[in-house]
Amino acid sequence: IQQGLKVTQSSPNFLLVVGLSSEDGSLSEVDLADYIKRNVQNAISRIPGVGQFQLFAAGKAMRIWVDPEKLVSYNLSMAEFNHAISQQNVLISGGILGSPPNEVGQRVAVPLVLNGQLQSVDEFENIILRSNIEGSIVRVKDVARVEIGADNYQFGARLNGKPTAAFGISLTSDANALATAKAIRAQMEELKEFFPVGVSYAIPYDTSPYIETSITQVVHTLFEALILVFIVMFVFLQNVRYTVIPALVVPVAILGALAVMNVMGFSINVLTMFAMVLAIGILVDDAIVVVENVERIMAEEGLPPLEATRKAMPQITGAIVGITLVLTVVFLPLAFMSGSVGIIYRQFAVAMAISIAFSAFLALSFTPALCATMLKPIPKGHNLEERKGFFGWFNRKFNGLTHRYERVVAGSLRRTGLMMILYLILVGVTILLYMRMPSEFLPEEDQGFAFVNVEVAAGASATRTQEMVEQVEQYFESKPQVRDMITVRGFSFNGSGLNAAIAFVTLKDFAERKGKENSVQTLVSEANQYLPGLPDAIPFSIVPPAITALANASGFDLRLEDRGELGQSALQDGAGQLLGLAAQSDIVQDVRISGLQPAPQWQVTIDREKTAVQGLNFDEVAQLVSTAMGGGYIGKYTNKGWVENVWVQADEPYRMNIEDLMRLQAKNSKGEMVPLRTVISAKPSIAPVQMKRYNSYPSISISGIPKPGYTTGEAMEEMERLVGELPHGFGFEWSSLSFQEIQAAGQNAILMSLSILIVFMVLAALYESWAIPLSVMLAVPLGIFGSVVLATLTGMANNVYFQVGIVTIIGLAAKNAILIVEFAKDTYARTGSLLDATVEASRMRFRPILMTSFAFILGVLPLAIATGAGSASQNAVGIGVIGGMLAATPLSVLMVPAFFVFVLKIFKTKPKVFGEVARQIEQERAQHNSEGQH
């Protein structure tokens, strides 16, 4: 059939798979498939977000099964048989009686309907093939049997071991998975009302529940973070009023961020929710700084809340503005990254930036108003150590820690050279550990489902494939963690064919299969140890990637290419050699060719000279072979208002082996029947079923996974080494997730460099100085050091989510430094003593730095210890930022004062002060001069 080129836009994986079953067995799979084509396919395809509707079954067709021996007995050829059917099954218009131009006075116009196109089995059976002179007639039913069968017999689906008609739905590239899945389920419920009696549907494979569960898990994490942050604030502030003020900022900032994200067209997804969880600890920072400073002034100077707020705000406005700019612009490069990495980063970056901007706005407007109205006056000189119980003990211990810290800082400022040497050593260790970190694109997630690709021995029939599928079904159905399993014969992610099949295995809910032993990774690992032992097949189980829209399977995907024009045979040999090398590797496993293996075939040659001598037409001989063995399309018929195909093919017993082909006969120009064995020859061979090209080069796709304890990055390095051992002429490229991983790795260094550079430039513009930003930016490696160390200790790889944590740490490490440097420069401008000003600023900012840092760490802790759906991604982000803050907090409060003093001495400059702070300093100097004159 000439169908032309069909182009569809969809993701490479299925959103869900639906199966229709006849509970009472009254309808066959063909009946169900035909019902789907007529009544379900169009309704589902119209739903926004549906990219491709893949029917794993065939609709109905008129099947004419020819008996070649009977055909010969009537001295009829296949060409004559096909011609007779084509001539007597035509759709043609009869015209209209009385149509224009017509005679004057014509009053009616009546269409003529010809019964040219046949509609039933009986009509096709009675097609006349030949009428003889004596009056006898040869009809189709004399030489063939006719039935309404399947349009093709490639597919066969089973749901939990029972026959079904199934279809899969892929998303468009811009679709919302949850919204589309919800719409499909609603549409199926609506269609269900009109199903034939005894027909039901099931959705055994559906990726949307995992997405919903992941988002729900992150929402739970969000509330856990809120509670933990509230506890930290209450421990430090020790007053419900003081604690409530920062807590009120969080929901307001989040609501504002959600409103802006909605306008920008962003959705609530795992990435944006990650940003919200990380933002929780950051959102309260600015409000904590405001409340803490107001409280300090009230306690030290005895001012009422309103006056204390007025005095406190000029001292911290610069720091809040600087922190906000840093934490906002540090995510700016993320929003402009390219490829799928950019899509992942962009949503996170925008959500974080918007949330932080709202937090700063509220800290400079909403929080001061709350402080002035909600706080109660504190007596001057009020000693927090006199409190009883836990808070009194905490205050005494913390004040003692503050005094010791003050002495340590004073001592370190006299040894700035030694501090810088220690700093350089720490930076060197950080670089060394970072370079040694294993890499991967995305962490492997337990999404609650797995795939099983089944490839039976090349040349296997559909019957043999079905037998193997049933063995795979029996294995997985025996596993207690498996809930549903739908298998499709004739289709796989490697290609379609009689010897191919795929299974979609859905596991029970996470609550019903706790423990690593019940994870999808364990299930797949055990399956891949058992399944290869099955005879006559190559089945292997696959864990889907964390983002299924990017690929069909996790692991690596290498394209071995013929760069030296070696030929398909040499390419196949090279792939086999590479598999042999990989089998001996300690780093990779389950390495296989992702595609159908070369299969046995018969090379049929039609001898043109013999054909001409026998008086045969070459085209008719070729058409005879094609029609008898493969089936020939000869028109359409009408079935219940739908136009369906008519196929002619030799009946089953006459197309099972090569001898059946040789026994076929064609009619020559003299009307004689000539056996094909006189004009054709056939020899067996092995040849590729698929011919693939990648970037124009002949290629073979090779997939695999790293062995336990190794990452995909290490596996890819190993495969590159093994390809290097192949003979000259072979090249390779990475595809799918591996390509994305290479692309992401190439952008990581640029990403961090741009983030650091942009933060530095913003601070330079804010402070009109090169020295102040430098003293701040020197704190950044301290945070990265912590992230890398904790990731190394926990065995975490350097992936996309870890990089998100690193970028966040760049901003947070700079934030802690800004709190010290901002106060130090103002105090230095006020007193003129660099060392005393730095020590005083460090003492004043010690408490808010620890408070905000612990609030952030505990706010992110639920991410680091998360389990269940989406936990691997949460852990990657959480461990990265917690490690960074655990290191950046103590190291920053110890080393940033030394950075500040060291840089100012090197640059020999005095920092500028602006605005209200400058006016306060001028007033203090004027007052001091006036008192001196008196």
Say which CATH number the domain at 516 has.
3.30.70.1430
- In this prediction, residues 704-726 reach a mean pLDDT of 86
Task: Place 760 in a pLDDT band, splitting at 50, 70 and 90.
Answer: confident
My answer on whether omega of the bond before 101 falls inside 30° of 0, hence cis, is yes
pLDDT digits (tens, 9 = 90+) for 741-757: 777 776 667 777 888 88
Note whether 462 and 358 are same-domain residues.
no
Note whether 369 and 223 are same-domain residues.
yes
Note whether 454 and 431 are same-domain residues.
no
Most confident of 432-446, 456-470, 721-735: 721-735
**Of 523, 543, 563, which marks where a domain is finished?**
543
User: Is the per-residue pLDDT at 405 higher than 80?
Assistant: yes
Q: Is residue 224 part of a domain?
A: yes
Q: Is residue 412 part of a domain?
A: yes
Percent of the chain with pLDDT strictly greater than 90: 18
pLDDT digits (tens, 9 = 90+) for 349-360: 888 888 888 888
User: Is the per-residue pLDDT at 99 higher than 90?
Assistant: no
Note whether 240 and 365 are same-domain residues.
yes
Of 26 and 495, more confident: 26
pLDDT digits (tens, 9 = 90+) for 630-661: 899 999 998 888 889 999 999 999 998 999 99
**Of 177, 206, 235, which marks where a domain is finished?**
206
User: Is the per-residue pLDDT at 3 higher than 70?
Assistant: no
State how far the Cα of 645 lies from the Cα of 59, in Å rounded to an integer.
10
State how far the Cα of 200 lies from the Cα of 177, in Å rounded to an integer.
24
- In this prediction, residues 175-185 reach a mean pLDDT of 89
In terms of residues, how long is the chain? Answer: 934
State how far the Cα of 36 lies from the Cα of 57, in Å rounded to an integer.
9
pTM, two decimal places: 0.76
pLDDT at site 893: 86
Note whether 187 and 218 are same-domain residues.
no
pLDDT at site 2: 47
* Tokens 């430098």, located at residue: 774
pLDDT at site 441: 77
pLDDT at site 610: 92
Displacement of CA 751 from its chain's centroid (Å): 21
Indicate the range of 320-324, 424-428, 645-649, 878-882 predicted with least confidence. Answer: 320-324
State how far the Cα of 377 lies from the Cα of 480, in Å rounded to an integer.
64
**Token code pair at residue 606:** 């039609």
User: Is the per-residue pLDDT at 363 higher than 60?
Assistant: yes
Q: What is the CA radius of gyration of the chain?
A: 38
Q: Is residue 79 part of a domain?
A: no
Task: Place 7 in a pLDDT band, splitting at 50, 70 and 90.
Answer: low
Note whether 230 and 361 are same-domain residues.
yes
- In this prediction, residues 555-574 reach a mean pLDDT of 85
Q: Is residue 594 part of a domain?
A: no
pLDDT digits (tens, 9 = 90+) for 225-258: 778 777 877 777 777 877 888 878 878 888 887 8
Note whether 346 and 457 are same-domain residues.
no
> Cβ contacts of residue 478 below 8 Å, gap of 6+?
none
**Token code pair at residue 485:** 């399993």
Three-state DSSP class for 644?
strand
User: Is the per-residue pLDDT at 528 higher than 70?
Assistant: yes
Domain around 499: 449-543
- In this prediction, residues 507-527 reach a mean pLDDT of 84
Question: Number of folded domains in the chain?
Answer: 3
Indicate the range of 804-818, 870-884, 914-928 predicted with least confidence. Answer: 914-928
Are 644 and 623 contacting, i.e. CB atoms less than 8 angstroms apart? no
Task: Place 12 in a pLDDT band, splitting at 50, 70 and 90.
Answer: low
State how far the Cα of 920 lies from the Cα of 925, in Å rounded to an integer.
9
pLDDT digits (tens, 9 = 90+) for 654-690: 998 999 999 999 999 888 899 999 999 999 888 777 7
Distances (CA, A) of 17 to 123, 177, 824: 38, 14, 63
Of 379 and 254, more confident: 254
CATH number (domain holding residue 911): 1.20.1640.10
Q: Is residue 454 part of a domain?
A: yes
State how far the Cα of 505 lies from the Cα of 489, in Å rounded to an integer.
15
> Cβ contacts of residue 875 below 8 Å, gap of 6+?
443, 796, 863, 864, 865, 866
Task: Place 911 in a pLDDT band, splitting at 50, 70 and 90.
Answer: low
- In this prediction, residues 93-103 reach a mean pLDDT of 84
**CA end-to-end span of the chain:** 108
Displacement of CA 392 from its chain's centroid (Å): 51
State how far the Cα of 274 lies from the Cα of 269, in Å rounded to an integer.
9
Q: Is residue 370 part of a domain?
A: yes
Note whether 229 and 354 are same-domain residues.
yes
Task: State the amino acid at position 58 in one-letter form.
Answer: A
User: Is the per-residue pLDDT at 1 higher than 50?
Assistant: no
User: Is the per-residue pLDDT at 609 higher than 50?
Assistant: yes
pLDDT at site 926: 59
Note whether 169 and 298 are same-domain residues.
no
Task: Place 44 in a pLDDT band, splitting at 50, 70 and 90.
Answer: very high
**Of 497, 512, 543, which marks where a domain is finished?**
543
Note whether 51 and 26 are same-domain residues.
yes
- In this prediction, residues 783-791 reach a mean pLDDT of 90
**Token code pair at residue 378:** 């504190």
CATH number (domain holding residue 28): 3.30.70.1320
Q: Is residue 247 part of a domain?
A: yes
Note whether 879 and 798 are same-domain residues.
yes
State how far the Cα of 13 lies from the Cα of 54, in Å rounded to an integer.
11
User: Is the per-residue pLDDT at 65 higher than 90?
Assistant: yes
Note whether 804 and 826 are same-domain residues.
yes
**Mean of all residue pLDDT scores within the chain:** 83
Q: Is residue 397 part of a domain?
A: no
Task: Indicate the burial class of 307 (C-beta count within 10 angstroms; 0-12, 13-18, 19 or more).
Answer: middle
